[in-house]
Amino acid sequence: MARKPPPRRPSASHDKPPSRSRWEGKAKPDWLSRALARAGVFPLAEAEDAIRAGRVSINGRVAKQPLAPVPEGAVLRVDGVEVQREVETRVLAFHKPADVLTSTVSQHRTGTVYEVLLPQLPDELSRYTWHAIGRLDRGTTGLLLFTNDEKLVAHATSPETHLPKRYVATVQGTADEEKLEPLRRGVMLEDGPTRPAKVKLRDAHTVEVSVTEGRHHQVKRMLGAVGLPVKALHREAVGDVLLDVPEGTFRELTPEEISHGLRYSGQN
Ligand code: URA
């Protein structure tokens, strides 16, 4: 006999707000579990549990639905304590090892960067939902930033921001200035021309490339286009933030590094 499937409890990755066309043209409200996670009160899954347990109120009324809309300016309380919703932007600089995937925050599968990063976070930082700023290929090592601020993700990954990302590639074959020159003008890839890149020859097998776009496999494709297939790729810097922690570890950026190093005012 066919067994009836158990009722599905929405998980962090499945919780999606119902579509609300009535919010078109207006500021769309956050939904309750996400508002609590953004405020750093709980990680998303714990926020859902707290809401279902009746610990959370919106404007004085207990709300038991994680997807309940939170109107602008609403007062949220957890166990009667008001939630501070203006959250400071926090950024972690993580040294990604090879052979781990950069996944999205809702895809905490095994073998992802989250599996390496999250267990190291102190309590104060583990309350936030951390978003990777861009992605590095599985084999690429180096600087991968994480933030609790989705606007910063959009800022830092938009080509319009022109934030340079500096890579060092170990290439097959012998690199020389003549081979690298086209990259300084821009090369044609399947998805269009690249912007002129800053390129330096470090030695016959090592090339430094700074790009201000973040297209899929961009650096490997650029070097491949000039006859220098990439054997290994490492990111040394994003904006003026340099990688300075051992592989597999992280540190938190200072507010100055966020505002100057990543050119982020928080106003976008
Ligand atoms: N360019 C690539 O080709 N791979 C990366 O991981 C990052 C940039």
Residue 244 has pLDDT above 80, yes or no: yes
Percentage of the chain exceeding pLDDT 70:
87
Residue 14 has pLDDT above 60, yes or no: no
CA 196 to chain CA mean position, Å: 25
Per-residue confidence band for 107, with pLDDT thresholds at 50, 70 and 90: low
What was the pLDDT predicted at 186?
96
Percentage of the chain exceeding pLDDT 90:
74
Q: Residue ranges of the domains in the chain? A: 29-82, 91-261
Residues in the chain: 268
The catalytic residues are: 137
- Ligand 1 neighbourhood includes 252 CB (under 6 angstroms): no
User: Residue 76 in contact with residue 84, Cβ under 8 Å?
Assistant: no
Q: Please compute the mean of the pLDDT values over residues 107-120 and round it to a whole number.
A: 87
What was the pLDDT predicted at 24?
46
Q: Please compute the mean of the pLDDT values over residues 88-107 and round it to a whole number.
A: 90
User: Residue 92 in contact with residue 130, Cβ under 8 Å?
Assistant: yes
**5 vs 256, higher pLDDT:** 256
What was the pLDDT predicted at 4?
39
CATH number for 91-261 (one of 3.90.740.10, 3.40.640.10, 3.30.930.10, 3.30.2350.10): it is 3.30.2350.10
- Ligand 1 neighbourhood includes 194 CB (under 6 angstroms): no
Residue 223 has pLDDT above 90, yes or no: yes
DSSP symbols for the chain: -PPPPPPPPP-TTT--PPP-GGGTTSPPPEEHHHHHHHTTSS-HHHHHHHHHTT-EEETTEE---TT-EE-TTPPEEETTEEP-------EEEEEEPTT-B---TT---TTBHHHHHGGG--HHHHTSPPEESS---TT-EEEEEEES-HHHHHHHH-GGG---EEEEEEESS---HHHHHHHHH--EETTEEPPP-EEEEEETTEEEEEES---TTHHHHHHHHTT--EEEEEEEEETTEEP-S-TT-EEEPPHHIIIIIS---S--
Q: How far is the CA of 114 from the centre of ligand 1 (A)?
A: 19
CATH number for 29-82 (one of 1.10.260.40, 3.10.290.10, 3.10.25.10, 2.60.40.10): it is 3.10.290.10
Q: Whose CA is nearest to atom 2 of ligand 1?
A: 217
**17 vs 121, higher pLDDT:** 121
Per-residue confidence band for 129, with pLDDT thresholds at 50, 70 and 90: confident
Q: Give per-residue pLDDT as tens, 23-78.
A: 444 556 789 998 998 888 888 889 999 999 999 999 999 999 999 999 988 999 99
- Ligand 1 neighbourhood includes 57 CB (under 6 angstroms): no
110-114, 182-186, 218-222: least confidently modelled range: 110-114
Residue 134 has pLDDT above 80, yes or no: yes
Q: Which of 167, 191, 195, 207 to mutate to test the pocket of ligand 1 (most atoms within 8 A of CB)?
A: 167
Q: Give per-residue pLDDT as tens, 144-196.
A: 999 999 899 999 999 999 999 999 999 999 999 999 999 999 999 999 999 99
Residue 243 has pLDDT above 70, yes or no: yes
Q: Give per-residue pLDDT as tens, 195-207.
A: 999 999 999 999 9
- Ligand 1 neighbourhood includes 258 CB (under 6 angstroms): no
Residue 19 has pLDDT above 90, yes or no: no
Mean pLDDT of the chain: 88
- Report pTM: 0.81
Q: How far is the CA of 54 from the centre of ligand 1 (A)?
A: 45
What was the pLDDT predicted at 106?
67
